Structure 1
Amino acid sequence: MRTVKEALNQRVLLADGSVSRLLDNADTDMKRDFYGMDKVLSVLNVTRPDLVREAHLAYLLAGADVVRTNSLTASPLTLKQYGLQDEAFVLNHLAAENAAKAVDSVPGEGRRRFVLGVIRDDGWNATPAEIEAAVDVQVQGLLSGGADAIVLDCLAGIGRIQPVLTAARRARASVNSEAPIYLQEGREVTDFSRHVQEQADGIIRYRPGDPAKGKQLAEWIREEACNLIGGGDLPGKTQQLDSVLRDLAEDGLRPVQSWVREEGPVDRFEPASSWSHFPDGHEAEREIKAAKALEKAV
């Protein structure tokens, strides 16, 4: 796949697992790495970029197609309680940059992997204007740092999605980017209005991954048109899910969306060579690298 939009439209991709969990369990110093405050994990984008990149790398080597930025606590509205709101742009820029560097460090062998810049509604007690200003800063930072797409993880029907979308679109235009902006919906039905959906570039239908529930994954793919599967809690789960998705795929790579099957042969859309993980005979190397990356990150 040459673009993330094509990939999410045609295939079911595997996301990374919990980067936050790896960072939470990493060997860090509260005073040095978190400025003496509670664990605001986005601060590590500045103080410990090595840890952030290693966490992303562990999931990439385990088979993830996309990594999500370490930006869940990087909204100016969230950072304000720590007096760090003025650092929001830098924290988001580096969140994307660290993820992009991790992607670039993995041998591609013709395969594209992607960085999703994530903005999550944290239940902010703020006016629409304040929300717009905060999201504008985040999106500009994520796109300037190298995110391939923006993902808005917001609930519908609570009055915040419109200012979030408006700000995201404005910020994208201000940095002259063509990166797609996605709404994310989970297992529960998310009732985004048609007006809201038309302002986004697509919907990410996300489902949590569990390698022990392959049958359920198959149902989600077949009946719910999900296009992104979570990579589990740790890289070991991601590696297992990589195998599960390959087993479910028509060509041993990633399952295709139903409309692709209806159009004709899978390789009409993409040759198998663009999904090769590592060259033949390098599985052992892959496992060793993944284990080392995980050992460093945890």
Structure 2
Amino acid sequence: MTDRFVVVGAGTMGLGIAYVAAGAGYEVELVEVDAGRAGAARETLGGLWDRAVARGRITEAAAGQARARVSVRRELAEVADRPDVLVEAVPERADLKRRVLAAAEERRPALLGSNTSSIAIGELAGALAAPERFLGLHFFNPVWAMALLEVVVGPATAASTTDAAVALAGRLGKDPVVVRDLPGFATSRLGVALGLEAIRMVADEVASPADIDKAMVLGYRHPVGPLELTDLVGLDVRLDIARTLQAAYGDRFAPPPLLESMVARGLLGKKTGQGFYRWEGGVRQ
């Protein structure tokens, strides 16, 4: 029987997870209720495989096989029961995630995960009948290039579920870290703190975004600076996470006014073509 992997949400992270899962041999069902994103999903994924072939990272035959393993659904109700893995990758809002996870559980997946980057797994598990089969599966952008998978163990997560998630990481070519369930976990708590301070530095005119990023890349060996990373993740996503962490830990995670202003103006980073940098064709200018 073919292994099945369901991804709910065809945004940046959902598409990346679907891409990696298809490459690992899963039959992937990508669920997206938005007609525009659903319609563009296969084309976007196809572009990822085309670029991988052009760069010699995958053969044309392997890319064709991976493409054929992906199907797009408009509703979770269209997904057959008992997939091996189901990962929720919808926007970072607890109420939305709880609704999606409750509907996802009805499909009776063997392993149910949330790609949340900051919301407590215990909070999300309150919507579930079987929280022991649920945990956090926090992937990183771009999913196909980032080796890390943060496995977040909730209060009710069974040891067998954690073991299954670690095994899944290996099959997807990821290197897992297992962390306890606290808002922000390990990576977002540290990464957002750095990103918010970098944004405050831009507002204070300490240096240009490019020079702030350059300082962290050359001085601390970060692969990418905190402001470019914010553009890649999405300023709206960073804002949602900051608000979640502010509620949990206080005003040290208060979003800077500059971040709130940029989001309000639709300057969300790479996905809109303008953030701390200008982007054209997905390339930083």
TM-score normalised according to structure 1 size? 0.31
Higher strand share: 2
